[in-house]
Structure 1
């Protein structure tokens, strides 16, 4: 127990709660937080394992809202491209990709916040493109939920549908990339001591986030999600600037 960093675990709980409220998962916060405590590749391995428990919790808590069509159009491309991204993570420069990710999140979230009535056409093409991009980013950088969140926020979904569908897609992504990361050597024995704690945090954070969501009106939910994503983009760029 003396080797466990409880400040990191407390921050992980906060990431899970906010990720549940935002509807795009905790990795968008967990990955930047984890990079302060672990090397980049350890964070990738821990994120995949952590998300398996947190997304199972969300699927159980929000299961009535699952959108099977979006699950197909966004989920399948996500699974394919998370494998591609996970394999390429060993050979591509992650710093440049993180810069691009931060700029992309800030720019696109600002666009939807300023143009509040702007909604992407809810068609197959947009869903597939968003799923492919989010899956690739998840495999390469450890986080793709914010990109998927932008895609799904553009579809202006009811919050229970948004969270349930996003969690199920996230679970498929994490299940797939866990095998890739393990094969890449990202899951280290000395980090496994955190897994039981993260498993509990995934369940507890999802539950607390769901309770908080009961007090957030649907009209404010989309804006809240976009504000979280904007903040994530800023934090990503600041972290790169000071590192």
Structure 2
């Protein structure tokens, strides 16, 4: 199925990278449900991890104007620990059930931030640790945790460049860790490895376009577009699974 629809897959992956860069959530929140239309959920998890490694290296290169080292420790370390745990238990869940959980997760998350527009996280070390724990476990078992990490990091009032670079460093550790676990779980299928160089090009191009867009609009304006898109993708994930 994927070979037949490869051009559509590449275009949608590029859009996921652009939206993920500009929205600050990371591309996986879009890429996972999109890829799930073409592949089984376990293959999606493996491919997402590989895609995100190259995506985050690209973001670090494009947005390298300073890093929040304290946040990398307080949010990043728990995220890496719990992504390993999430990735380890993912193989014990029915992929169909995980798809429903993913759809429900995206719908709930988007509605919460669309309805409670002033919802913020207090910039405390304890909240950074909790945010890292939840985002890491979510990334391991569902393939995406960037939205949780993004809303946690937003409390610390960083510039867009610093925000994206810090998030990318944390995400790189998360994705490298879960890639190893997914490999041993058998989620990284050798017959899909031909997609990796394609997705590397997609990550570079998508990040570059996203950076250009950020120069012309505020992240707050685009945030609402991203949230509506997440809501739509969440609904589509559940509907497609039923269908």
TM > 0.5 fold call: yes
Shift, 1:71, TM fit: 1.2
Q: CA 1:59/1:108 → structure 2, altered by over 3 Å: closer, same or farther?
A: same
User: Aligned-residue CA RMSD in angstroms?
Assistant: 2.3
Shift, 1:170, TM fit: 0.9
Deviations, residues 212-239 of structure 1 (Å, cap 9, x unaligned): 1111125535545544544444444444
Mapping for residues 68-107 of structure 1, pairs under 5 Å: 68-107=69-108
Shift, 1:189, TM fit: 1.3
Shift, 1:100, TM fit: 4.4
Deviations, residues 163-194 of structure 1 (Å, cap 9, x unaligned): 11111111111111111011111111110111
Counterpart in the other structure of 2:27: 26
In 1, Cα distance between equivalents of 2:223 and 2:23: 8
In 1, Cα distance between equivalents of 2:154 and 2:228: 11
Q: CA 1:134/1:219 → structure 2, altered by over 3 Å: closer, same or farther?
A: closer
Q: TM-score, normalised by structure 1?
A: 0.88
Aligned partners of 1:99 and 1:237 also within 8 Å: yes
Q: CA 1:31/1:115 → structure 2, altered by over 3 Å: closer, same or farther?
A: closer
Q: CA 1:82/1:166 → structure 2, altered by over 3 Å: closer, same or farther?
A: same
Counterpart in the other structure of 1:10: 11
SS at match of 1:64: coil
Counterpart in the other structure of 2:115: 114
SS at match of 2:13: helix
Where do 5+ consecutive residues of structure 1 fail to align?
A: none
Shift, 1:145, TM fit: 1.2
SS at match of 1:63: coil
In 1, Cα distance between equivalents of 2:152 and 2:226: 11
In 2, Cα distance between equivalents of 1:161 and 1:180: 29
Aligned partners of 2:85 and 2:140 also within 8 Å: yes
Counterpart in the other structure of 1:171: 172
SS at match of 2:194: helix
Where do 5+ consecutive residues of structure 2 fail to align?
A: none
1:217 aligns with 2:215: no
Shift, 1:141, TM fit: 1.3
Counterpart in the other structure of 2:126: 125
Q: TM-score, normalised by structure 2?
A: 0.88
In 1, Cα distance between equivalents of 2:234 and 2:128: 22
Aligned partners of 2:22 and 2:219 also within 8 Å: no
In 1, Cα distance between equivalents of 2:43 and 2:146: 19
